[in-house]
Chain A
Amino acid sequence: MDTLKVRDAKDVEEVVRAAIAGEQPLEIIGHGTKRAIGHPMATNAVLDVSALNAVTSYEPNELIITVEAGAPLADVQSLIDAKNQQFAFEPMDSAVLLGAAAAGTIGGMIGAGLAGPRRIRAGGARDHLLGAHAVSGFGDSFKTGGRVVKNVTGYDLCKLLTGSWGTLAVMTEVTIKVMPKPESERTLVLHALDEVTANKAMTAALGSPFDVSGAAHLPAAALRSGAEAFGSLAGAGQGVTLVRLEGIAASVAHRAGSLSQALSSYGTVDSLADAASAAVWSALRDVRPFAANGTLGASPVWRIVCPPAVGGTLGQALARETGGEVIYDWGGGLIWAAVPPGADAQAALVRKQVEAIGGHATLLRASDEVRRNVDVFQPQPAGLAALGERVRASFDPKSILNRGRMKRGGAA
């Protein structure tokens, strides 16, 4: 298989145009760390954007950074970290779950759109992408958005590019909002709550005025599977419910006090300060208990997004009926479920439960074979699916880019 390592947007145009002429679909990669997500594709050439890796501009006072799509996420994060800034949506490092070598590129981060625990407060990747240059499946470079936060000029194509898994356009350069890092953080810890009660405690915390920036629950089983990552929390052998507060130290201390009091009916409230707190949320963000190199490394993993207040009930049912393990983030609105290995990753059961409460499930990790047989992305009602397909075709009518990645049987 040919791998074409493009050097600039012109190269991308040329490769896409040739692919259109030859009716040869292309797989789009940066570092290729997320290639195992989505349906296996029937592409016979690879367009590699990893050499488009320059930082075009970084203006800390404007709270924006403009980088080429192939820039390594880790490098860009170090760069903004040095100015005490961050991507507030806390992008996950999918390498832990997928067993990849690194966190991948900025383009991959946007294309996947996988936000971490702070999504409940700061929004997702879609809320932080301000502008993009990309090459469509017509072989044309286009731009959308701009380099300012407040912009309603024309359709907001940034929203579509985020989470489109490279099926709409090849991003070449993006402008992303950065935010100041909080001066301090603290995590309140509740112990041994069942999942429904934990969900209630998180709902109470998120419905309080204390500006919670993370709310997660690790049942005992998941905590055991991730014992190494969670250190002392894993010791007691019981589930933990975690609520994060961030900001200036005095404010964090004040809110921690008030919120501990508000949550005292759920049991003793412990707390973890700065570094210990940060370590816990980074392990949660990357779903360490289900790590590729851990005890559940062979289990298919579902990423389920649902109305937060019913997450506990849903997760409990999923764990019971699949015989798997679950982790709750976003106050119950995000459930990671590792199910025992099998031919269909128990898709029918998972989807039936998830759909019943207005959620959707993505099979984020599974073998090639399973991903060939099961809908990786949530199937949609006919009208919505047809609209989604028209939207896709409006960018790439010949389905040149990542053909079949988001649709089962779409590679044919």
Chain B
Amino acid sequence: MSIMMPAADQAVLDRRGEIVAALRAIVPGEGVIDSAAEMLAYESDGLTAYRQPPMVVVLPDTTEQVAKVLKYCHGQGIKVVPRGSGTSLSGGALPLADGVLLGLGKFKRIREIDFDNRVVVTEPGVTNLAISQAVAHAGFYYAPDPSSQIACSIGGNVAENSGGVHCLKYGMTTNNVLGCEIVLMNGEILRIGGKAAENAGYDLMGIITGSEGLLGVITEITVRILQKPETARALMVGFAEVEAAGECVARIIGAGIIPGGMEMMDKPAIHAAEAFVHAGYPLDVEALLIIELDGPSIEVDELINRVETIAKGCGSVTLQISNSEAERNLFWAGRKAAFPAVGRISPDYLCMDGTIPRGALPKALARIRELSEKYGLGVANVFHAGDGNLHPLILYDANKPGEIEKAEAFGADILRCCVELGGVLTGEHGVGIEKRDLMPEMFTEIDLNQQQRLKCAFDAQGLLNPGKVFPTLHRCAELGRVHVHAGKLAFPDIPRF
């Protein structure tokens, strides 16, 4: 637990009673929680290694209440941490000791389903899956499908730019949202975009998506919905070597085929998953690919044949093709349960989330194995192979002194390796607190300053979700200063015309 959060402001803590009373005046009744016992439910998100009870929890149920809470906190210089369902895997919703935790759980209504414009207008607390369920009767669905889709909120998806198994073909959250209502830290309510394909002016929806709750609090979202593909079939292909599996992924993409999903598991992950769900996974292979093709059945059948040929050409040692929905679901069952399955074989695990160029998969795996030996900790690997997104699960025991620190150091080394191989620190889980201090591995101080300037345009006092994403916080006035370099139009050697 090596990440330090900003020091709590004692002056704010001293005024806790007054602050709770002020919030109660805005959000009446049970919407303000200040008892230590009840606040325990909010002390952590999906990154459970980090825990911190907030100063107070507030659960507004209207945009106006959100605006009043933020305006009050803005006026009083009080920090605010927004939270959806609390499933962040990077600590994005970790509370602050001197901060208000603003939960959007009461924003649970789908406001409008508009099939003609192929959009759903929803409140942020609605779960990802609930949107697909609400439109399923007409054959539609919402494409991004993070593994936590039963629980995670669409507001959180926007904050994190969540992905999922199918984003290779259908894009991440940012490619599937059109507009929002957002409340800025000063309480200002703005509407951005709507049912049109693009918003006017700068693409603010694009910058808000994936901003990890640092720019504003979203109170309404317009998402695109798609017609479900006619059918889907999957192949499950085993390889004796990881390199061959990696080559197979590259050749499929190289042949112009974009599968609906393309997942890889390594031997430890295969064994853990098979022991848990008995999906019939081959146990003597080093890598397993699950490749799903979707579309009209005539297309899917043709592509299944092409992928089969490619897989055999890459030396596959086992190959099964689903012939029913039940069989397809069984192929996926092990992959979808991979995290809990690993949870059964190890007291604790850390889930990493780097992305690398697809071609670097074998190199990355070899490096992860070396690191596993170096740190003396086991690791199971599941990948969104189609887009190079790695999820190494580092196995450790929190009850053994020093092991969490070792696991974190191992994880940091994996992410550094991703950056070295031409990739990035996080593909879909977000920076949060988990990867905050690794940001300089990928960005220079100038890069990070430019990002923080943008933060200043939304929240000049830095009160919204501080301590996340940026390793070093600068004052906005300092960041906004333009350094005038001496000398006027000089550059004698730049060609002029």
Contact = CB atoms under 8 A, between A and B. Distances in A.
Our verdict on whether A and B bind, yes or no, reads: yes
Contact of A307 (B192, B194, B426): B194
B359 interface: yes
A251 interface: yes
Interface string A389-405: 01111110110000000
Interface of B: 114-118, 139, 160-161, 163, 167-168, 171-172, 174-175, 184, 188-192, 194-207, 209-211, 227-230, 250-251, 253-254, 256-258, 295-296, 298-299, 302-303, 355-359, 384, 387-389, 422-431, 435, 439, 442-444, 446-451, 453-458, 469, 480, 482-491, 494-497
Q: Is the interface of B mostly helix, strand, loop or mixed?
A: loop
Given A141-B446, A157-B454, A207 B439 contact: no
Interface string A48-74: 100100000001111100000000000
B117 A309 contact: yes
A138 B496 contact: no
Contact of A4 (B195, B296, B488, B491): B491
A246 B480 CA distance: 48
Contacts of A236: none
A211 interface: yes
A394 B456 contact: yes
Contact of B115 (A149, A151, A207, A211): A207
Interface string A17-30: 11111101000000
A307 B117 contact: yes
Nearest to A208: B227
B46 to A, nearest CB: 15
Interface of A: 2-7, 11, 14-15, 17-22, 24, 45, 48, 51, 59-63, 84, 119-120, 123-124, 126-127, 136-144, 146-160, 162-164, 168, 179-181, 183, 203, 206-211, 247-248, 250-251, 254-255, 258, 305-309, 330, 333-334, 358-360, 377-378, 380-381, 383-385, 387-388, 390-395, 397-398, 406
B250 A391 contact: no
Nearest to A140: B446
Contacts of A206: 118
Contacts of B210: 152, 155-156
Of B184, B257, B299, B458, chain A has the most CB atoms within 10 Å of the CB of: B299
B451 to A, nearest CB: 5
A387 B191 CA distance: 11
B494 A153 contact: no
24 contacts: A2-B489, A4-B491, A14-B494, A20-B482, A61-B250, A62-B253, A62-B359, A127-B174, A140-B446, A140-B449, A142-B450, A149-B355, A150-B172, A150-B387, A151-B426, A152-B427, A153-B426, A207-B115, A250-B298, A254-B298, A255-B296, A309-B114, A384-B191, A391-B457
Contacts of B488: 18, 21-22
B386 to A, nearest CB: 9
A397 B482 contact: yes
Nearest to B438: A153
Nearest to B454: A394
B489 A18 contact: yes
A307 B196 contact: yes
B194 A157 contact: no
Contacts of A385: 201
Given A248-B302, A383-B190, A207 B227 contact: yes
Nearest to B252: A61
Given A150-B172, A209-B139, A358-B195, A378 B204 contact: no
A293 to B, nearest CB: 27
Q: Which of B198, B227, B356, B456 has the most CB of A within 10 A?
A: B198
A148 B361 CA distance: 13
Contacts of A2: 489, 496
Given A48-B497, A120-B197, A138-B482, 20 more contacts: A4-B494, A5-B497, A6-B494, A21-B484, A63-B253, A140-B446, A146-B442, A148-B356, A149-B355, A151-B355, A152-B429, A160-B207, A251-B295, A254-B299, A307-B194, A308-B118, A358-B195, A358-B196, A384-B191, A390-B458
A127 B483 CA distance: 34
Contacts of B384: 150
Contacts of B430: 152
B117 A18 contact: no
A84 B167 CA distance: 22
A258 B295 CA distance: 13
Contact of A155 (B302, B451, B496): B451
B461 to A, nearest CB: 14
Contacts of B486: 21
A181 to B, nearest CB: 7
Contact of B190 (A4, A119, A384, A392): A384
Contacts of A45: 489
Listed residue (A24, A153, A385) with the most chain B CB atoms within 10 angstroms of its CB? A153
